[in-house]
């Protein structure tokens, strides 16, 4: 399933929501690095994302296509839930943003943790 960010129609738009701003802030960075280079360029913000996208979709390169515009930075954490068929199955997940570019923000496959307790 494709990501429906801020550029999608309002009836389907579903971007991640920032819950907590990082302590270091985002001053002085373009967000175009693949790893934090200094304190002002590091992430540390917490985001929430809920969708029917499979967790394997979430780790696709540049999945959050508007991540740079939303303010995502390498080192930010993303927490969320993934629903299947009208909420009959729920998977929770957490992961870290490792790359941000003009083509999107990427979750690290090595950082993604999921749970399917029911």
- pLDDT tens column, 73-115: 988 999 998 887 665 678 889 999 988 998 899 998 888 888 7
Are 101 and 52 a contacting pair, CB within 8 Å?
A: no
In a domain? residue 9: no
In a domain? residue 82: yes
Domain range spanning residue 41?
A: 17-115
Question: What is the number of structural domains in the chain?
Answer: 1
In a domain? residue 28: yes
Strands 89-101 and 104-107: antiparallel
pTM of this prediction?
0.77
The count of other CB atoms within 10 Å of the CB of residue 34 is: 11
46 pLDDT above the threshold of 90: yes
In a domain? residue 1: no
In a domain? residue 58: yes
In a domain? residue 72: yes
In a domain? residue 3: no
Tokens of 115: 């749970």
In a domain? residue 7: no
Higher pLDDT, 63 or 41: 63
């Amino acid at each position: 399933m494709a990501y429906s960010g801020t550029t999608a129609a309002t009836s389907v738009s579903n971007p991640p929501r920032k819950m907590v701003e990082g302590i270091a802030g985002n001053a002085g960075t373009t967000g175009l690095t693949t790893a934090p280079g200094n304190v002002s360029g590091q992430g540390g913000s917490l985001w929430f994302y809920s969708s029917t996208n499979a967790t394997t979709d979430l780790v696709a390169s540049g999945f959050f296509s508007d991540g740079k515009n939303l303010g995502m930075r390498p080192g930010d954490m993303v927490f969320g839930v993934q629903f299947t068929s009208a909420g009959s199955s729920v998977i929770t997940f957490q992961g870290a943003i490792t790359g941000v570019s003009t083509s999107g923000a990427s979750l690290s496959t090595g950082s993604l943790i999921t749970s399917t307790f029911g």
